[in-house]
Amino acid sequence: MKIFFSDLYFELKKNRGAMIGIIIIILSLFVAFLAPLIAPHNPTEVFPDALRLPPSFLEGGKAGFFFGTDDIGRDLLSRLIYGSRISLSVGFSVVVISLITGTFLGVIAGFYGGMVDRAIMRLTDLIMSLPSILFAIVIVAVLGPGISNAIVAVSVVAVPNFIRIIRAQVMVEKNRQYVQAAKLFGASNFRIMFVEILPNCMAPLIVQASLGFSDGILNVAALGFLGLGAQAPMSEWGTMLSDARSYIESSPWMVTLPGVCILLTVLSFNLLGDGLRDALDPRLKKQN
């Protein structure tokens, strides 16, 4: 495994996009962890005398509110900083939930085949037959709005990707001789699936996890924008975007800044994911 990661790092270092992605991710992780130290104000604190102030470096801005304030006088910079905590943990939860469920179902489908496989694959077809955001909306509508329900909904939508990738990989690996060798020693199916085969399916899993991170952040932000995700006064980027949209002409920074935050995080994870794919899948790399 150590060799695997040092090789991976060597390949990634050559990819400028992936390195930029990693730098942004590390920066945002720092910001998220140190939010109470960095943020100048409490994100929910209201300053009644500072409504919709522009950023301090623009005309009319006020020192102490670097990125300005929102419509009820909360410091935008602090809200964005705390927002990174929410977005990253949302991305993380989505990936963890969908990865574990997807991997489990994918391994079982790929390994057993037959009826089990058909049942699981029809389920994924069902989920994938609707646009993912629409399906997520349906789930949240049933469960009720809120950040945790949004996470569940987005995770459900992300599961089929994992199932498909793992299943395809398992179907290749299960015919290899080392699997037959394990059978010869009487290894149980569980052991063969999760101890022998699964570690050999890591490469596409890592790529998908990285891409799933950005999908998760984006989808939860979208649900927030629609009012189905995080609820006030939580400083979630998608919700902030939605709250600010009526001021898009008078106070454009209120819309722009959360949008840029979402863009940068999603972009950084996509860059990392693409870089990982290039590094881990030599077949794709050779073609370009």
Q: What is the largest CA-CA distance in the chain?
A: 77
Helical residues (DSSP H) of 34-75, grouped into ranges: 35-38
| Binding status of residue 177 toward another protein by CB under 8 A | yes
Closest to another protein by CB, 49 or 185: 185
Q: Cβ 217 to another protein, closest distance in Å?
A: 30
Segment near another protein (CB under 8 A); pick from 75-83, 191-199, 236-244, 248-256: 191-199
| Binding status of residue 9 toward another protein by CB under 8 A | no
| Binding status of residue 16 toward another protein by CB under 8 A | no
Closest to another protein by CB, 57 or 190: 190
| Binding status of residue 185 toward another protein by CB under 8 A | yes
Give burial (CB, 10 Å; 0-12/13-18/19+) of 279.
Answer: buried
| Binding status of residue 190 toward another protein by CB under 8 A | no
Beta-ladder partners of 75: 69
CA angle 42/49/60 to nearest 5° reads 100
Segment near another protein (CB under 8 A); pick from 46-54, 149-157, 198-206, 226-234: 198-206
The answer to whether 247 and 262 are in contact (CB under 8 A) is no
For the record, the structure tokens of 168 come out as 């395809």
Q: Cβ 277 to another protein, closest distance in Å?
A: 19
Q: Cβ 187 to another protein, closest distance in Å?
A: 5
Q: In the chain, where do the E strands start and end? A: none
